[in-house]
Amino acid sequence: MFRLVAGSACLLASLAGATAAHTAAGQATAGQAAAGQAVSRQASAPYAKVDLIASGSAVTPGSDLWIGLRFQLDPGWHVYWRNPGDSGNPPVVRWQLPDGVRAGEIVWPAPERIPAGTLVNYGYSNGVVLPVPLTIATGVAGPVTVGLQVKWLVCQELCVPGQARLELKLPLGAAENAEVSGWKRLIDQARAREPQPAPATWKARAASQKDDFVITIDTGARETQGVFFPIEVSQINDSAPQRVRALDRGLELTLRKSDQLRADPAGLTGVLALPGRPAYVITAPVSRSGPD
């Protein structure tokens, strides 16, 4: 089930029609596994191709290896960030790993705002690589099979769910080994887009007003543009425009509160995206400002 805000009946209607038309195709790869056919490192589904890639051709005991879950989407389609925004769901992964191999957390590259009718979602248009570090214990020896079950939702004017079981065998075969340098470049590029902790010199605070949060961020320089992506769902109205006011030492963002917010949080944590700059994670403690 995907996240849906009030006023999205048209999206529900589209999804109902799309599910009837595409469920069988979208679950074809998972069905192959259930039928006992060989599980591959890649799968095709409506509007999406999904595969596992690696930054190296083999595992080394006592070290880490980066894996990438790659989504290649038809033009105009998108998948979701960890907070999907007004509607949708992020990809969900269940790992199947041998003893001595542990998967870390998914690295989520900085997202984009994706308008969808009256809604605004947070995610990735046309595709994304989601890197994951694998920690290899010192006692691991011999070939390793990295497996996972993944579920996702791809959307354009309608949304289509998909799922697949994927496996990547290490060491790689000759054909896959020829692709490793390109895979590593894609994983490195995705990791470089991971939002970083804000510089220690930055200061952020948020004032809670009746209908809005006003976040003031001191970056030490005048900022004229910026977009805030909240980590937690249902704190701000994702589809409302974010009003930006330039300050001599940063910027001020006015964010409409979510209709589903029942009480102010202690702080607003999210990703601040500035044009032509890396994205940063900021936390702005919330204080009351003005009458209710």
| 80 contacts: CB under 8 Å, gap ≥ 6 | 88, 89, 90, 91, 121, 122, 123, 124, 153, 155
Instruction: List the pLDDT tens digit at each of the 292 positions of the chain.
Output: 445 544 343 343 344 344 433 433 344 344 444 445 578 999 999 999 999 999 999 999 999 999 999 999 999 999 999 999 999 999 999 999 999 999 999 999 999 999 988 999 999 999 999 999 999 999 998 799 999 999 999 999 899 999 999 999 999 999 999 999 999 999 999 999 999 999 999 999 999 999 999 999 999 999 999 999 999 999 999 999 999 999 999 999 999 999 999 999 999 999 999 999 999 999 999 998 755 5
Give residue 157's pLDDT: 85
Cβ count near 52 (within 10 Å) = 22
134 shares its domain with 149: yes
Residue 248, domain member (yes or no): yes
181 shares its domain with 239: no
| Neighbouring C-alpha atoms within 13 Å toward the C-beta of 195 | 24
75 shares its domain with 163: yes
Nearest-5° angle of CA 80, CA 19, CA 28? 85
* Segment 127-165, tens digit of pLDDT: 999 999 999 999 998 799 999 999 999 999 899 999 999
In angstroms, the CA 243 to CA 256 distance is 9
pTM of this prediction? Answer: 0.88
**Single residue among 192, 207, 242 that ends a domain in this structure:** 192
In angstroms, the CA 175 to CA 177 distance is 6
Residue 4, domain member (yes or no): no
107 shares its domain with 13: yes
Please report, as a single letter, which amino acid is at residue 75: P
Token pair listed for 74: 């038809």
Among candidates 283, 238, 246, 285, which has minimal Cα distance to 3? Answer: 238
| Count of domains observed in the chain | 2
**Single residue among 143, 175, 192 that ends a domain in this structure:** 192
Residue 61 CA from chain centroid, whole number:
29
152 shares its domain with 250: no
Token pair listed for 242: 């974010």
CB 170 within 8 A of CB 26: no
88 shares its domain with 161: yes
Its domain, for residue 52, covers 9-192
200 shares its domain with 176: no
168 shares its domain with 228: no
Alpha-carbon Rg for the chain in angstroms? 21
CB 76 within 8 A of CB 156: yes
Q: What is the domain-level CATH number for residue 229?
A: 2.60.40
DSSP, collapsed to helix, strand or coil, labels residue 100 as coil
Residue 284, domain member (yes or no): yes
Residue 2, domain member (yes or no): no
CB 129 within 8 A of CB 184: no
